[in-house]
Amino acid sequence: MGTRPNFVKIAPVYSACSRRNLSQIIVHTGQHYDSKMSAVFFKELGLPNPDINLRVGAGTHAEQTANILLRFEKVIPKLRPDIVIVYGDVNSTIAAALVCAKLSVPVAHVEAGLRSFDRSMPEEINRLLTDQIADILFTTSVDANENLLREGISRNKIYFVGNVMIDTLLKFLPLTRKMQSNKYPAHYALVTLHRPSNVDNNVTLRNIFESLIRISHKLPIIFPVHLRTRQRIDCLSRLKNSRSLYLIKPQKYTEFLYLEKNATVVITDSGGVQEETTFLMKPCLTLRSNTERPITINIGTNILVGTDSRVLEQEIDAILAGKLKTGGIPPLWDGHAADRIADILMRYSK
């Protein structure tokens, strides 16, 4: 694993495997290396410190992937694992899977089969290649199964287990009931923003921020600023002048879950947030033209708004007028996905 979303996904699987006495070694690639995005999550989620940290740090997609390949390749012969589990769609995912494929070590991919059908997204390439390499593919939804079958993956490799992110959400949700905050308004929009397509393009970024400022005049905004995004906001001082737009540091998992649960609406470009808001039945407006999680639209509360500020503001006005999209909870998003994964791994090990 290497990034914050990976940590949230691995926590329930690690726990479920531990209860079955499966021996586990945690390898952290160091893709997210800042303490706010890494170390603090291990402690909060109840994960032990990584057994191995490759410390690859920052870099381009190619640099990160190459460094993980070089460093992880030296680790595998020493550990001699029976199977390696990779999570999600980040550079750590594909790099670890490639090393295993070259060294003939079986790979299990948690969150397999998700597709945006947009190959300009680095994550889409990571997803496609990892699924071709993997020996066991754990999916979160039926449409993911269909994607894999269409791509020629053997049905015998595919296991529909549900969503491990929801396992973690359900475990920590009760803690948010005890939390209170007088720092923010009673009604607010929660914003997350980090994808290169939004934050690396100056024109797109400026348009999104100008739209957020206008929205904040109608509904206050709480914006935990991702480290990647903070480095790219050249108009940060302008935003600070808005009294109804709260720029805050990245939050711990439980703190963010509290903000998410109590928000009037969530504006995001994050895949995981689309899933969490669907389970929480919170209106979600996704600042992307596509999503690899269409179930959050077909069944859940998610709406794609692209980067058109007019569409975003129209949807906000509709929500404030009480015109909410109602949704349901997808099948097997029940808090037991990790148990299903661990049971399958037990059978595989035998």
Active-site residue set: 194
Q: Degrees (nearest 5) of the Cα angle 11, 15, 17?
A: 120
* DSSP string across 117-140: S-TTSHHHHHHHHHHHH-SEEEES
d(CA 32, CA 9): 15
d(CA 25, CA 45): 17
d(CA 145, CA 315): 32
* DSSP string across 213-252: HHHHTTS-EEEE--HHHHTT-TTHHHHHT-TTEEEEPPPP
Question: Do residues 332 and 161 make contact, with C-beta atoms less than 8 angstroms apart?
Answer: yes
Q: Which residues on neighbouring strands pair with residue 265, listed in sequence order?
A: 189
11: which 2 tokens?
Answer: 């926590």
Q: Is the dihedral of CA 156, 162, 163, 169 positive or negative?
A: negative
Q: What are phi and psi of 84, to 5 degrees?
A: -115, 130
CB atoms closer than 10 angstroms to residue 16: 22
